[in-house]
Structure 1
Amino acid sequence: MTTPRVSLIIPTQRRLDGLATAARSTFLQTGVDPATLELVVVDNDQVPSAEALTRTLAAEAPFPVVYVHEARPGVANARNAAMAKARGDFIAFLDDDEEAPAGWLAALLAVQARYDADVVFGPVRGRAPAGVVKHRAYLEWFFSRVGDGPAEGLIDHYYGCGDSLLRRASLPDAKAPFSAIRNHIGGEDDLLFGGMQAAGARFAWAPAAWVWEDPVPNRLTLDYTIARAFAYGQGPTSHCAAQTPPDRVGMARWMVIGVLQAGVFGLLAGLQGLVSSPRFAFTLDRAARGLGKTLWWGPFKIHFYGLRAPT
């Protein structure tokens, strides 16, 4: 039986320290034959700012390292550019603010084999620097993926692309599966996995395949996370709107849920803010997600990805 090849993909944009940490964590993977691996670094900066670092990393790596420069802004563009160069039967995604323990990839592959899964997801553990005190518990929770807890097995839902393993043969397009309509708002992975689920794909949860996530300092604020929570809330309604034809019943249902969620948790967050409750940020987050379900179209879309550097 031929051992499948695995392409490790790290998309990056002007995060050299994070890229170095993420890439070097892939070099230390155990329980996997390095001869079956490659790392694809896709640089989504206007200029090839990660090229020199990637050459340095390639000299250290126990397997081939491929550099891809995708100057067109957008997270879907970046992922697709990497997919076009990747040669693996399986694709493992790691973000440039994540660090994988030594057994991470082996755990993903083991669960994939046990359950014949098309996509496998693992937990993410948010890690804030020691100097972050205010709202620390919330911020670490926000950047975590608790998922389905300690129980391994098939699941009937999906998560984001960071810390995931995809079977290439199961993708609707082997080289460009991510939709460009999500380039600037994110959720390109939700759109892909939602379509795969509708087509009967099998998803699995691998609790042993966890990674650290180290958010950049300017994201460790309520200004960032609450705006991001609002954008996350837009996901289910936007997904219904993007179907062909649009799922108008689903859109209406999510918008009603959003109004109720925003109202109840918005009021509760206001009361908790008055008494400086440690739950304030968590409740405000839920209110923002509700508001996003309701205000999901055109002028309310928030662009987190593919933005060009200030000039």
Structure 2
Amino acid sequence: MKLSVCIVTYERPAFLERCLRSLDAGLDPSAQVVVVDASAEDRGDLVRSIRSDAVFVHAPHLAGWMTRSRNEALRHVRGDIVTFLDDDVVLRPGWEAALLAAFADPTVAAVAGRTCNGLPGEERYEPPVGRVLPDGRLTDGFASLQDGLVDIDHGIGANMSFRRSVLAELGGFRDDYPGTALREDTDVFLRVRALGGRAVFAPDAAVDHLPAPHVRGARFDTRYKLYGRRNHMVLLARDGGLGSAQLRRWVGGQFAAVGRSHGLAAKAKRLGVTVVGVAWGAGAAARQAKWHPLPPRREDALGRELRAALRADVAAEADGVRQVRRGTDEEGDA
């Protein structure tokens, strides 16, 4: 199996360099590296100084749209397996071997690798890893140590991989999760599952996540929480439909959590964020979802374009194999 590793980045050159040096040391030379950089400055020379054969795409028009950068990367991948890594991770030894071992099982369509944050006790996680609960909440556990592969509903965007054929069938990522792009990774895993594909957590395909600062705002600030509620509502509405009981239970749970906040000021702040976030999410979901679940395949112009691009090289390689075989047969006849 051939591997394509994609990095999307924006205004974090020091972290990008650290990530690329990790890839150069930890990947087989045959693996393809694709970098899509939305930064204002063209850093192609930096990328190629570390990995001379890397594909570098300078795309400043994609600034603020991480998932659109992911789709841009899909135009250039050549591997059977396509990985997306955040620019602030470094590979642990054995990452590539463990990833390809997971995909050796033909039933596996998507893999979430272990993403270690250096937090005490993160290797232990009691709830099931990577599940969507009946009340619409998501379980985590992607830093935990598990005994072998674990079946999951959703994965983590910092270290996620897919069969190229499955991404072609999907027509790429849904790229309209704005702001922090929270839930775009969950969305693609749920769509893989809706196709009938199997998604697994592979704890031996591990990276260290050494977080870079956000270019705008900070993780878990008010902006992050507002986008989180908005995007989560859109996710649940698309996956289960606007009429899903799961979506209603999640909204109810958000308001119930307000009462569990400590102190009047904290309650008021959480109530405000919840009201605005849920209202924003409801408006977005009404525009972007339907009463019943959406089909997992993108059938818009971009989806069709990406599907064709992802299938093109597969067809070309198949033609090449047929031509080689034809030539061999003719030599044998001679």
**TM-score normalised by structure 2 residue count:** 0.67
| CA 299–75 in structure 1, closer or farther in 2 if over 3 Å, else same | same
Contact 1:158 1:203 in 2 (8 A): yes
Give matches, 1:138-149, under 5 Å: 146-147=141-142, 149=144
| CA 213–57 in structure 1, closer or farther in 2 if over 3 Å, else same | same
| CA 262–155 in structure 1, closer or farther in 2 if over 3 Å, else same | farther
Contact 1:98 1:214 in 2 (8 A): yes
* Mapped partners of 1:214, 1:291: distance in 2: 33
* Mapped partners of 2:284, 2:118: distance in 1: 30
Instruction: Give the match for residue 307 of structure 1.
Output: none
Q: Return the offset for 1:81.
A: 0.8
Q: 1:196 aligns with which of 192, 199, 207?
A: 192
Q: 1:38 aligns with which of 12, 32, 38?
A: 32
* Mapped partners of 2:174, 2:3: distance in 1: 23
Bigger mean CA deviation after superposition, 73-82 or 112-121: 112-121
Letter in 2 for 1:107: A
Contact 1:262 1:289 in 2 (8 A): no
* Mapped partners of 2:250, 2:54: distance in 1: 43
Q: 1:69 aligns with which of 46, 54, 58?
A: 58
Contact 1:231 1:289 in 2 (8 A): no
Letter in 1 for 2:234: S
* Mapped partners of 1:7, 1:239: distance in 2: 27
Letter in 2 for 1:56: S
Work out the number of aligned pairs and report it.
263
Contact 1:230 1:292 in 2 (8 A): yes
Instruction: Give the match for residue 133 of structure 1.
Output: none
Q: Which string of whole-angstrom CA distances, capped at 9 and with x for unpartnered residues, describes residues 186-229 of structure 1? A: 1322222222212211011111122111222468x9x6324335
Contact 1:232 1:289 in 2 (8 A): no
Does structure 1 residue 54 correspond to structure 2 residue 50? no
* Mapped partners of 1:200, 1:49: distance in 2: 40
Give matches, 1:240-255, under 5 Å: 240-242=236-238, 246-255=242-251
Q: Return the offset for 1:244.
A: 8.5
* Mapped partners of 2:208, 2:272: distance in 1: 25
Greater C-alpha Rg: 2
| CA 217–236 in structure 1, closer or farther in 2 if over 3 Å, else same | closer
Instruction: Give the match for residue 76 of structure 2.
Output: 85
Q: 1:177 aligns with which of 172, 181, 188?
A: 172
Q: Return the offset for 1:48.
A: 4.3
RMSD value, Cα: 3.8
Does structure 1 residue 10 correspond to structure 2 residue 3? no
Instruction: Give the match for residue 100 of structure 1.
Output: 91
Q: 1:262 aligns with which of 234, 239, 258?
A: 258
* Mapped partners of 2:43, 2:272: distance in 1: 35
Q: Return the offset for 1:243.
A: 5.2
* Mapped partners of 1:288, 1:155: distance in 2: 37
What residue ranges of structure 1 are gaps of 5+ in the alignment?
A: 129-135, 139-144, 274-285, 302-311
Identity of aligned residues (%): 24
Q: Return the offset for 1:137.
A: 9.8
Q: Which string of whole-angstrom CA distances, capped at 9 and with x for unpartnered residues, describes residues 254-276 of structure 1? A: 10011112321x2x3x49x9xxx
Q: Return the offset for 1:148.
A: 7.6
Letter in 2 for 1:44: A
Letter in 2 for 1:126: N
Contact 2:179 2:227 in 1 (8 A): no
Residue aligned with 2:108, SS = coil
Instruction: Give the match for residue 297 of structure 1.
Output: 281
Q: Return the offset for 1:123.
A: 1.9
Residue aligned with 2:233, SS = helix
Does structure 1 residue 19 correspond to structure 2 residue 7? no
Q: Return the offset for 1:232.
A: 3.4
Give matches, 1:99-118, under 5 Å: 99-114=90-105, 116-118=107-109
Does structure 1 residue 209 correspond to structure 2 residue 198? no
Q: Which string of whole-angstrom CA distances, capped at 9 and with x for unpartnered residues, describes residues 130-183 of structure 1? A: xxxxxx999xxxxxx633832222423112222112111122547x51123224
Q: Return the offset for 1:29.
A: 1.7
Structure 1 runs of 4+ with >6 Å offset: 286-293, 298-301
